[in-house]
Amino acid sequence: MKKANDLFGRMNERYDRMSKSHKAISNYIYEHYDQAVFMTAAKLGETLGISESTVVRFASGIGYEGYPEFQKALEECVKGKLNNVQKIDAKYGRSSQSEILTSVLNADIEKLQDTIENLDPAAFESAVTTILSAETIYIMGLRSNEPLAAFLHFYLNMIRGNVVLLNTTSVSETFEQMIRISNKDCFIGISFPRYSMRTLKAMEFANDRNAKVIAITDTIHSPMNLYSSCNLLARSDMVSIVDSLVAPLSVINALVVALCLKCPHEVKRNLETLEETWNNYQVYLNDEINFIDDEPMLNYSLRKED
């Protein structure tokens, strides 16, 4: 029998084969597990507008003997989250500020090292090739993942055109913004626990339209991998009150550098145009721009010599 904390793994494995009602239950558990843990099968069914028996069948369908066993597994998941906070208090409660700083930075270094050892080079190369060849790039990352998506969007816009950042809070508006996505395009979904079902639905839609789908997520068990053909995995565990995004940002940064090195002349041309525009409209005061030349990230001034 699988461990209780493998509940989300069970849902991930079976999600693609679930009925519409069972997917609705799974989606709700992902987004509101801290509320669902207190619900009976009848209450959960009432909340979702489905029958109690459907909820019970869902529990059985993902490998539990019944709803009580499923609910117990859900309780273990919630306890695990609470225990993380308690462990943080026990670990850092009496530490000095400098000790906390050192401990958190060392934890981030560990995550970077783990990411280096486990990231698939072939997947990384595939992602670079896919992004360069796609007609339009769609990027989506919600909640704490929004800064990652915005960072990638900002730099992809400097490298190439037709880059769309999906940042609406409405599922229907997300589909409206993606309505023209096709097999010539690429979708990049960024999500780390707690996973975003809105991002997952967008990835499913992109996959259904035969677009190339890239997932930037934490593990092979992430539901983001269900609809992606290329998975870039970066470790992101609880190290303080918030999740660490250092490793994911480094992977995205590596993507940007690799893309720049693939098309240095286009990047140079785009940056020269930007520099001219900024100077003409006095956006910045004598700021210099660094861009890719014969070697990575040379400090190359675009301003003319006096």
Of 89, 133, 97, 33, whose CA–CA distance to 238 is shortest? 89
pLDDT digits (tens, 9 = 90+) for 157-208: 888 889 999 987 666 788 889 999 999 999 999 998 778 888 988 999 999 9
Q: What is the 3-state secondary structure (H, E, C) of 250-276?
A: HHHHHHHHHHHHHCHHHHHHHHHHHHH
Say how many C-beta atoms besides its own lie within 10 A of residue 80's C-beta. Answer: 11
Q: What is the pLDDT of residue 163?
A: 93
Of 7, 4, 8, whose CA–CA distance to 225 is shortest? 8
Copy the structure tokens of residue 100: 């906390």
**Residue 46: its H or E element:** helix 41-48
pLDDT < 50 positions in the chain: 1-5, 90, 239-240, 294-306
Q: What is the identity of the amino acid at 198?
A: R
* Total length of the chain: 306
Q: What is the pLDDT of residue 278?
A: 66
Instruction: Say which residue the tokens 């992101």 belong to.
Output: 236
Give Cα separations from 218 to 41, 107, 278 (angstroms).
31, 16, 38
166 in Cβ contact with 178 (< 8 Å): yes
pTM for the full model?
0.64
Q: What is the pLDDT of residue 226?
A: 86
List, in order of start, the domains of the chain with CATH numbers. 4-90 (1.10.10.10), 112-262 (3.40.50.10490), 263-306 (no CATH)
Q: What is the pLDDT of residue 297?
A: 45
- 10 Å CB burial of residue 296 (0-12, 13-18, 19+) is exposed
Q: What is the pLDDT of residue 255?
A: 93
